[in-house]
Structure 1
């Protein structure tokens, strides 16, 4: 079997799709039943050995422009909102890689596009769809990105032989929205890295001290600060908690600067001044792992998720989880979390208070969460993805 990938999602800084691609390729490179594995960035072809090098060296590919604040960020956001910018970038990338894709198709490679929109390909090919939030919440995305997906995704779904989704919820969603045949769409859950695990309290002391936190003495949320993650309602729900609970369990919000969040930042300001909400900014991965493990509650009342990997990572870290009762999240937690209505501030507040005052409930959810997270592995994702390749191999 010969496998081909678009490696652009491995560019730094890697997003969720980039890490999905990384874990898939890492698992496939361990197999000895793959004749050849390669991919492209621009007009450059990377063979099996060089793909392996890319995975371990995130900075070996040129980064796309990324600015979180200031005039450069404003200009970048404005440029990306211009009509045709996404489509233009796609056309340029396709032109650069056209000849190598044609050669790989001639040689019998199976092409797997891991990032929604597949390039034209004459051989067997697969695409992974991570969610359809652009259809359900277009207002939460740049209009140019929504237009790009609306224009190109239907053609991709017609071209490919199989569609992989990261949850059964997203599988049903893709079938319903695009009228796909049932047997064309396969659900393959994501996995949790082994580094997400319970840590000893002593090993976490220095990380907690830097932020003025206590072991099992804070609420943690990890996500991009954007509307779909529902942080405005989470902050409002936290503000409704009794003052003594807010003092004892501050809310720690960790995540990259997002968009459409000026109102959120205003809501946070008063509680932040009282040191009841903490915004650490960038947190190194090793520190983040220990914060996960040390929290009393992990709060993730997202409005829409194709999978919801932070919830699985929190369960694997041994923390009680509060999350939403909508989209894919109940499927991911499988009864191992406290589910709330994400549109109800009162419901979120009640759930937070219940978890904070009921240690027995937290302990029960920790045990269930660890068991559930153990079922979600990247190795299983790789095996099931390889089975999809086998089903379409010539």
Structure 2
């Protein structure tokens, strides 16, 4: 029996970050899969034409390296506690009304929240940080998820989590029975792969970097990503090591990051850090592949996609021994206590200086990344759909 699928597409808007990337990679494959008879898109209460096609438009050769940050009305409203409470109260009925008449379809929200729906439903829960670490979010976001998620789960038939860690967190909080939750790992796009010097040269020139002569952090600059402690640890390295391998930070400005940006500016003035803001997707594969080390000591993740993207690029990884990071790294990364600056510093020294570890980490990282693929993610997601028909 072929499947009639409605995919929530609210995260499919540029620039793509974690949930948007997941939705995009899933949508590309679901739309082509032989077991999907029909795929439709629903976004913010509206039926929309294929948003994947719009995201596939080529980037102009003269487009800037860093993407300017633009806040939409939706972004501004999402930080307003009154606005999110009104949204949480009014939209379920409105969205449910607009979805009426689709009892034979499956509705999948790749971004947590499922509206009232007469057919079968699937939700992807990426993390429970609003419960476990509310200090990492604007209060408005915490309010919204606390108001909306329980009601959403009550009308959800199957939940997908992006790691076993998040699955266990859901079970520990009694949010869903074990038979209704499945962990399906994310993956790196095929664009993330080892690069030769010839492949790297144009991007390194455009970015103003030297291949294998920098450490890298990729992610939104916000407290949860632990960039402040990474900068502190880097500042404690010897001047020679910092000079040989300056730290490159690539990521847009997140919530409550003013103090972190002040640290970035200070480190840039000292000459051992480069802040690139949000990098366009076309530059990211070379940025990863050109780094000597990916340093990602995040405090909490649902999956941590940059870990796998770096490994697939042949770049050694230092990450946290907390949350899902050990699960995702699969024994291929150097693990540190993300709350211990000395431990991060020691890890950086070891990873940057030890050639034998570097070679071993590249080999293990490539093997780990090869175990994860978006094709596999799509296949396992379809198996979840098939449970419902």
TM-score normalised by structure 1 residue count: 0.90
State the superposition RMSD in angstroms: 2.2
1:144 matched to 2:140 = yes
Sort the Cα spacing of 1:229 and 1:103 in 2 relative to 1 into closer, same or farther, 3 A.
same
What's the offset of the Cα at 1:135?
Answer: 1.0
Task: State the Cα distance separating 1:382 from its structure 2 match.
Answer: 0.6
Out of 244, 247, 253, the position equivalent to 2:243 is 247
Distance 1:239 1:211 in 2: 23
Aligned length: 378
Deviation at 1:95, TM superposition (A): 5.2
Q: CA deviation at 1:182?
A: 1.1
Partner SS, residue 178 of structure 1: coil
1:98–1:77: structure 2 CA closer, same or farther, 3 Å change rule? closer
> How far apart are the structure 2 equivalents of 1:24 and 1:59?
14
Q: 2: distance between equivalents of 1:79 and 1:101?
A: 24
What CA deviation, in whole Å up to 9, does each residue of 1:140-176 have, x standing for no partner?
1111110110111111112111111000000000111
In 2: Cα distance, 1:282 partner to 1:268 partner: 14
Q: Compared with structure 1, are the counterparts of its residues 248 and 388 closer, same or farther at alpha carbon in structure 2 (3 Å cutoff)?
A: same
* Partner residue in 2 for 1:180: 176
Q: Which residue of 1 aligns with 2:60?
A: none
The yes-or-no answer on 1:340 pairing with 2:336 is yes
Q: Is the 8 A contact 1:164 1:186 kept in 2?
A: yes
User: 1:275-314 to 2 correspondence within 5 Å?
Assistant: 275-314=271-310
Q: Output the CA distance in 2 between the equivalents of 1:255 and 1:91.
A: 33
Bigger shift: 220-229 or 262-271? 262-271
Decide whether aligned partners of structure 1 residues 43 and 258 sit closer, same or farther in structure 2, where only a CA change above 3 A counts: closer
Q: Which position in structure 2 is the counterpart of 1:102? A: 100
**CA displacement at 1:283 relative to structure 2:** 2.7
Question: After the TM superposition, which residues 3-18 of structure 1 pair with which residues of structure 2 at under 5 Å, given as runs?
Answer: 3-18=5-20
Structure with the higher helix share, 1 or 2: 1
- Once residues 365 and 245 of structure 2 are traced to their aligned partners in structure 1, the CA distance between those partners, rounded to angstroms, is 21
Question: In the alignment, which of 80, 83, 88 is matched to residue 81 of structure 2?
Answer: 83
Of 104, 128, 131 in structure 2, the residue corresponding to residue 135 of structure 1 is: 131
3-state SS, counterpart of residue 47 of structure 2: strand
Q: Does 1:56 align with 2:53?
A: yes
1:256 to 252, 259, 264: 252
Question: Which whole-Å CA distance do the structure 2 matches of 1:80 and 1:180 have between them?
Answer: 27
**Equivalent residue, structure 1, for 2:209:** 213
Secondary structure, aligned partner of 1:5: strand
Post-superposition offset of 1:366: 0.4
For residues 77-104 of structure 1, the C-alpha deviation after alignment (integer angstroms, 9 at most, x for no partner) is: 7754332312433556545543441111
Going from structure 1 to structure 2, the CA distance change for 1:294 and 1:59 (only over 3 Å counts) comes to closer
Q: 1:35 to 1:267 in 2, by over 3 A?
A: closer
Kindly tell me: are residues 43 and 127 of structure 1, through their superposed partners in 2, closer, same or farther at Cα, counting changes over 3 Å? closer
Q: Which runs of 5+ in 1 are unaligned?
A: 61-65
Q: What is the CA–CA distance in structure 1 between the aligned matches of 2:228 and 2:106, rounded to whole Å?
A: 44
Aligned residue number for residue 38 of structure 1: 40
Distance, in Å, in 2 between the alignment partners of 1:326 and 1:187 is 18
Cα distance between partner residues in 1 of 2:174 and 2:15: 31
Larger displacement relative to structure 2 (238-247 or 210-219): 210-219
> Helix, strand or coil: the match of 2:303?
coil
Matched, 1:170 2:166: yes
| Secondary structure in structure 1 of the residue aligned to 2:319 | strand
Q: Does the Cα contact within 8 Å between 1:12 and 1:58 map onto a contact in 2?
A: yes
What secondary structure, in the 3-state scheme, does the structure 1 residue paired with 2:11 have?
A: helix
Q: 1:304 to 1:282 in 2, by over 3 A?
A: closer
1:352 maps to which residue? 348
Gaps of 5+ in 2: 58-66
Secondary structure at the counterpart of residue 387 of structure 2: helix
SS at match of 1:8: coil
In structure 2, distance between residues paired with 1:282 and 1:68: 8
- In structure 1, how many angstroms separate the alpha carbons of the residues matched to 2:163 and 2:382? 17
1:9-35 deviation digits (Å, cap 9, x = unpaired):
213333321221121121111122222
The alpha-carbon deviation at position 59 of structure 1 amounts to: 9.1
Q: Give the direction of change, closer, same or farther, for the CA distance of 1:179–1:114 in structure 2 (3 Å limit).
A: closer
The Cα shift of 1:278 comes to: 0.5
